């Protein structure tokens, strides 16, 4: 069997040789800068939407914590014929700070501080005060839920939009 081998004259280039060496050389500076500009534009567009989604989900955690605290108060009332005036009476720490998942955390990593609203007549409701990064949420700042179920916020949005 005779194989046909094509012989190149000295100094001749093989077909596709430039493409192979170009591929092995890596990226040029211009290609790298174009890729960085595209990534920067994508971050510029996507980051505000992501931050809004995080703030909105943390609002939901605060609302859930307030509803949980209200149900604890109602159970305490059923058991003791009066409302609790302190968080430890409800089985919670004296200072309750929660994160975006409504888990108790320290002040440094907290999104909200949960408080009982206690006036002259006793318990009147619960409140979630924003802390740290969540305080940038100007739409729905402080959430409040009264003993009789009236929902309110101290931000620029209406309670209907926040709750």
Report the distance separating Cα 150 and Cα 144, nearest Å.
Answer: 8
Across the range 20-48, mean pLDDT stands at 83
User: What pLDDT is attached to residue 33?
Assistant: 93
10-24 mean pLDDT = 58
- 40 has pLDDT over 80: yes
Residues 6+ apart with CB under 8 A from 120: none
Which pLDDT belongs to residue 34? 93
Q: Does 65 reside within a domain?
A: yes
Q: Which two tokens stand for residue 76?
A: 């305490």
CATH number at residue 84: 3.30.700
CA distances from 105 to 10, 108, 135, 137 (A): 75, 8, 17, 20
pLDDT tier at 147 (50, 70, 90 boundaries)? confident
Does residue 43 fall inside a structural domain?
A: yes
Predicted local distance difference test score (pLDDT) of residue 12: 59
Q: Is residue 19 part of a domain?
A: no
Percent of the chain beyond pLDDT 90?
Answer: 12
The alpha carbon of residue 37 and the mean position of all alpha carbons in its chain are separated, in whole angstroms, by: 26
**Mean pLDDT confidence for 63-71:** 90
Tell me the residue range of the domain where 113 lies.
29-162
- Residue at 47 is within a domain: yes
Is the residue at 18 inside a domain?
Answer: no
Q: 12 in the Ramachandran plot: left (φ > 0), alpha (ψ -120 to 50) or beta?
A: beta
Confidence of residue 156 (pLDDT cuts 50, 70, 90): confident
**DSSP states of the chain as a string?**
-----PPPPTTPPPTTHHHHHHHHH---HHHHHHHHHHHHHHHHHHHHHHHHHHHHHHHHHHHHHHHHHHHHHHHHHHHHSS--SSGGGGTS-SSEEE-TTS-B--GGG-SEEEEEEEETTEEEEEEEEE-GGGGG--SS--EEEETT--EEESSSS-HHHH-
Structurally, the chain folds into a number of domains equal to 1
pLDDT of residue 17 exceeding 70, the answer is no
Band of residue 102 on the pLDDT scale cut at 50, 70, 90: confident
Tell whether 13 is covered by a domain: no
Quote the pLDDT of residue 26.
Answer: 73
Closest CA to 101 of 50, 59, 159, 49: 59
State the average pLDDT over residues 40-69: 88
Whether 20 maps to a domain, the answer reads no
User: So what's the pLDDT on residue 14?
Assistant: 59
| 11 located within any domain | no
């Amino acid at each position: 069997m005779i194989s046909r081998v094509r012989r190149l004259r000295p100094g001749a280039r093989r077909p596709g040789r430039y493409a192979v060496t170009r591929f092995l050389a890596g990226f040029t500076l211009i290609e790298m800068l174009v890729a960085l500009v595209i990534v920067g534009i994508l971050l510029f567009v996507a980051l505000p939407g992501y931050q809004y989604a995080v703030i909105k989900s943390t609002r939901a955690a605060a609302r859930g914590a307030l509803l949980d605290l209200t149900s604890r108060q109602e159970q305490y009332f059923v058991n003791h014929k009066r409302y609790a005036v302190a968080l430890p009476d409800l089985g919670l720490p004296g200072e309750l700070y929660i994160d975006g998942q409504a888990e108790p955390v320290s002040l440094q990593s907290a999104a909200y501080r949960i408080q009982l609203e206690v006036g002259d007549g006793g318990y009147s409701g619960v409140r979630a005060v924003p802390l740290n990064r969540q305080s940038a949420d100007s739409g729905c700042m402080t959430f409040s839920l009264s003993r009789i179920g009236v929902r309110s916020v101290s931000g620029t949005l209406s309670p209907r939009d926040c709750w």
